[in-house]
Structure 1
Amino acid sequence: MNAPFQILLIDDDSRNIFALTAVLKSRGFACLTTTVATEGLHLLESQPAIGIVLLDMMMPEMDGYETLSRIRSGTRSDIPVIAVTAQAMAGDREKCIQAGANAYISKPIHVDELFTLLHRYLP
């Protein structure tokens, strides 16, 4: 794809980052990754090429809901954010959307669903 944008992956599990990055790179997407939410916020503010965020909602220290709140109140408040979570209980999708996510995808991630969402929200 060789797009002029990058995907920011914020997930506290490096195995998830490894697997997801491999899939994304195989389709030509460029990725930035971090296992720490505060670093993800810094990357988002300092890297204008980031076009979308894939955000794990269940992280230690600062969870995805707090991270999402900070994204929405920052200078990149309009960036598309896809909430990624292992929680697949009734109401979780709505909770993520109400918190400010553009979309929601549950783990394990279905690759075709992910690419459909990426193509919907990327420029």
Structure 2
Amino acid sequence: MEKEDHILVVDDDEDIRELLRQYLEKNGFKVSTAANGRQMRALMSSSARVDMIVLDLMMPGEDGLTLCRELQTGAANPVPILLLTARNEEADRILGLEMGADDYLTKPFASRELLARIKAVLRRARMVPAHLQLKDSGHLLSFGAWTLDTHTRHLLDGSGALVSLSGAEYRLLRVFLEHPQRVLTRDQLLSLTQGREADSFDRSIDILVSRLRKRLRDDAGETDFIKTVRSEGYMFSTPVQLRGDSA
């Protein structure tokens, strides 16, 4: 954890907001709180940088899923999100992942578990695993008409338009692009994208692949980049070129 990471807690329960604020500040974080989407937007638009959002799922009015979708839509560098909820339904967990959440924690939870999840999400958002470090000076990975800039983490489509990626989506795409035309099992993808500390749901990789496929659709709504290999895993089927600049 970097010094003074800024966590924004969004929860309509004042007692929970205050408890989380006190606990996280005690553990070295800068903490802001918001009771709803309106307050969240005001804080996000201020000059203060927000490094991560802890977002309650069940709130009156705009719920956590609505706000999660809003935060992930059109953002060049989305803020990592940890969803909190009192519901333990698998469908809710999957939906949260589909909306772009990086992790999911069910209430009631131990404070130490929340702290560990926050630290793990922040590490994953900032670090590229050793497996993914480019072996030369190139930083542009091209496939078809698309280009991923690994310095800025920007994905550009064939027209040069920026396509928003969450941190988890970026890491998965990076894994695929550095292992093209090779079948990767779900366990391998989990290890390469989240490392040993990953605490994943059964279908998290499948949901993440589905999200990435949607990002990579062309104007016709089609993509053939990521193939499902039955009973084995997934394969990025398109050749990938490595370049050092945009020339």
Asked if these proteins are the same fold (TM beyond 0.5), I'd say yes
Q: Following the alignment from structure 1 to structure 2, what is the Cα–Cα distance between the partners of residues 52 and 42?
A: 15
Shift of 1:74: 4.5
Percent of paired sites with the same residue: 28
Unaligned runs of 5+ in 2: 127-247
Unaligned runs of 5+ in 1: none
TM-score, normalisation: structure 1: 0.88
Shift of 1:19: 1.2
Moved over 4 A (4+): none
- Check the 8 A contact 1:2/1:30 in 2, yes or no: no
* Structure 2 equivalent of residue 87 of structure 1: 87
What's the Cα RMSD here? Answer: 1.9
* Structure 1 equivalent of residue 9 of structure 2: 9
Q: Which has the higher contact order (CA 8 A, sep 6+)?
A: 1
Q: Following the alignment from structure 1 to structure 2, what is the Cα–Cα distance between the partners of residues 19 and 8?
A: 13
Q: Map 1:26-105 to 2 at 5 A.
A: 26-75=26-75, 77-105=77-105
Q: Secondary structure of the equivalent of 1:83?
A: strand
* Structure 2 equivalent of residue 25 of structure 1: 25
- Check the 8 A contact 1:2/1:28 in 2, yes or no: no
- Check the 8 A contact 2:4/2:28 in 1, yes or no: no
Q: Following the alignment from structure 2 to structure 1, what is the Cα–Cα distance between the partners of residues 58 and 32?
A: 19
- Check the 8 A contact 1:41/1:67 in 2, yes or no: no
Q: Following the alignment from structure 2 to structure 1, what is the Cα–Cα distance between the partners of residues 39 and 104?
A: 22
Which stretch shows the higher mean deviation, 29-38 or 42-51? Answer: 42-51
Shift of 1:107: 1.0
TM-score, normalisation: structure 2: 0.46
Q: Secondary structure of the equivalent of 2:43?
A: helix
Shift of 1:2: 7.4
- Check the 8 A contact 1:52/1:81 in 2, yes or no: yes
* Structure 2 equivalent of residue 113 of structure 1: 113
Pair member with larger Rg: 2
Q: Following the alignment from structure 1 to structure 2, what is the Cα–Cα distance between the partners of residues 76 and 108?
A: 33
Shift of 1:43: 1.3
Query: Which amino acid is the alignment partner of residue 84 of structure 1?
Result: L
Q: Following the alignment from structure 1 to structure 2, what is the Cα–Cα distance between the partners of residues 44 and 84?
A: 19
Count of residues in Structure 1 that have an aligned counterpart in Structure 2: 123
Query: Which amino acid is the alignment partner of residue 27 of structure 1?
Result: N
